[in-house]
Structure 1
Amino acid sequence: MRIRPTVLVNTPEIELWPAHLLRARSNANARVIARATHVLRRKRDGRFLAASTAAGLETLAWNWRREAGVDAALRALAAPAHGTHVDDHDLPLARIEHRLHALGLDAEAYGARTGLALVAEPAALAFAGFDRYRRPLWLRPAAARAWHVMQDAARRDGIALEAISGYRSHDYQLAIFERKLARGQTVDDILTVNAAPGYSEHHAGRALDISSPGEPPAEESFERTAAFEWLQANAGAYGFVMSYPRDNPHGIVYEPWHWCHRG
Structure 2
Amino acid sequence: MRNAPHLLINTPDIEIWPGGLLHARSNHDARLLARASHVLRRKQDGRYLAAQLAGGLMPLLPRLADAAGINEALAALDTRLTQPARIPPPPGTLPLDRLQQRLDQLGLDEARYAERTGLALVAEPAHLALAGFDRYRRPLWLTRAAARAWQRLQQAAAVDGIALEAISGYRSHAYQLGIFERKQARGLSVEQILTVNAAPGYSEHHGGNALDISSPGEPAAEESFEHTAAFAWLQLHAATFGFHMSYPRDNPHGIVYEPWHWCLASRDDAPN
Shift, 1:99, TM fit: 1.8
What residue identity is the alignment partner of 2:83? A
Question: What is the alpha-carbon distance in structure 1 between the residues aligned to residue 221 and residue 83 of structure 2?
Answer: 36
Moved more, 79-88 or 234-243: 79-88
Aligned pairs for 1:82-121 within 5 A: 85-121=88-124
Aligned-partner SS, 2:262: strand
Q: Assess if the C-alpha contact under 8 Å between 1:4 and 1:20 holds in 2.
A: no
TM-score (norm 2): 0.93
Count residues in correspondence.
261
- Determine whether 1:199 maps to 2:202: yes
Per the alignment, residue 156 of structure 1 pairs with: 159
What residue identity is the alignment partner of 1:115? G
- Determine whether 1:236 maps to 2:207: no
Per the alignment, residue 137 of structure 1 pairs with: 140
Moved more, 236-245 or 20-29: 20-29
Per the alignment, residue 212 of structure 1 pairs with: 215
Q: Assess if the C-alpha contact under 8 Å between 1:116 and 1:250 holds in 2.
A: yes
What residue identity is the alignment partner of 2:162? I
Question: What is the alpha-carbon distance in structure 2 between the residues aligned to residue 149 and residue 99 of structure 1?
Answer: 36
Question: What is the alpha-carbon distance in structure 1 between the residues aligned to residue 4 and residue 46 of structure 2?
Answer: 21
Q: Which runs of 5+ in 1 are unaligned?
A: none
Q: How many percent of aligned residue pairs carry the same amino acid?
A: 66
- Determine whether 1:78 maps to 2:71: no
Shift, 1:35, TM fit: 1.2
Q: Assess if the C-alpha contact under 8 Å between 1:7 and 1:86 holds in 2.
A: no
What residue identity is the alignment partner of 1:236? A
Shift, 1:42, TM fit: 0.3
Aligned-partner SS, 1:231: helix
Q: Assess if the C-alpha contact under 8 Å between 1:7 and 1:83 holds in 2.
A: no
What residue identity is the alignment partner of 2:136? Y
Cα displacement string for residues 7-34 of structure 1 (whole angstroms, at most 9, x for unaligned residues) = 0000000000011111112110011111
Q: What is the CA RMSD across the aligned residues, in angstroms?
A: 1.3
1:81 to 1:97, Cα distance in 2 relative to 1, 3 A: farther
TM-score (norm 1): 0.96
Per the alignment, residue 228 of structure 2 pairs with: 225
Shift, 1:81, TM fit: 3.1
Q: Which runs of 5+ in 2 are unaligned?
A: none
Aligned-partner SS, 1:147: helix
Shift, 1:192, TM fit: 1.1
Per the alignment, residue 56 of structure 1 pairs with: 56
Per the alignment, residue 68 of structure 1 pairs with: 68
Q: Assess if the C-alpha contact under 8 Å between 1:129 and 1:137 holds in 2.
A: yes
1:4 to 1:35, Cα distance in 2 relative to 1, 3 A: farther
Q: Displaced runs of 4+ in structure 1, greater than 4 A? A: none
Question: What is the alpha-carbon distance in structure 2 between the residues aligned to residue 61 and residue 133 of structure 1?
Answer: 28
Q: Assess if the C-alpha contact under 8 Å between 1:9 and 1:82 holds in 2.
A: no
Shift, 1:4, TM fit: 6.2
Per the alignment, residue 187 of structure 1 pairs with: 190
Per the alignment, residue 26 of structure 1 pairs with: 26
Shift, 1:83, TM fit: 6.1
Question: What is the alpha-carbon distance in structure 1 between the residues aligned to residue 54 and residue 92 of structure 2?
Answer: 29
Question: What is the alpha-carbon distance in structure 2 between the residues aligned to residue 217 and residue 87 of structure 1?
Answer: 34
What residue identity is the alignment partner of 2:45? D
Per the alignment, residue 11 of structure 1 pairs with: 11
Moved more, 221-230 or 18-27: 18-27
What residue identity is the alignment partner of 1:127? L
Question: What is the alpha-carbon distance in structure 2 between the residues aligned to residue 91 and residue 43 of structure 1?
Answer: 14
